[in-house]
Amino acid sequence: MPTIKLVKSHRQVTVNKKEYQKVYNTRRWKDLRARKIADNPVCEECERIGRTTPAKEIHHIKPFEIDNDLSLAYDYDNLISLCVECHKQAHEKLRMVGAASGRYSPGIKEGIEYR
Ligand SMILES: [Zn+2]
Ligand SMILES: [Zn+2]
């Protein structure tokens, strides 16, 4: 079973790729995602700076793949509607913050499609 090891606060965190991707196939996630996009059909980051861009993707503000915290995966308040560009930037930011602290590097590991 493929696993990905990430370092968090000097201890190893193992992210199970299968578990991670499984979330996105659940009815629970699909319903939650549909609800969020219905509530916020416009990219929330773009909106903040006065642009109106249709939201294409739903992003987890706090990444649930750390500690495999599935309560974060299904937490409506942890979701944000983003356009493709802002979503890319959100992950870039996470990556930089994570790399700077040495704790976490989402999206770097091969074979995991972070969302
Ligand atoms: Zn945007
Ligand atoms: Zn994301």
Mean pLDDT of 82-103: 82
Helical spans, DSSP H, in the chain:
17-23, 27-39, 44-48, 70-73, 84-101
Which has more pLDDT, 21 or 38? Answer: 38
Radius of gyration of the chain (CA): 14
pLDDT tens string 81-92 = 999 999 999 988
Which has more pLDDT, 101 or 27? Answer: 27
Percent of the chain whose predicted confidence (pLDDT) is above 90: 49
Q: How far apart are CA 64 and CA 79, in angstroms?
A: 11
Q: How far apart are CA 60 and CA 81, in angstroms?
A: 9
Ligand 2 is an ion; its neighbours by CB within 5 Å are: 59, 115
Ligand 1 is an ion; its neighbours by CB within 5 Å are: 43, 45-46, 53, 83, 86
Q: Break the chain into its structural domains and give their ranges.
A: 27-101
Ligand nearest to the CA of 59: 2
Ligand nearest to the CA of 90: 2
Q: Per the structure block, which two tokens stand in for 50?
A: 């006065």
pLDDT tens string 28-62 = 999 999 999 999 999 999 999 999 999 999 999 98
pTM of the model: 0.74
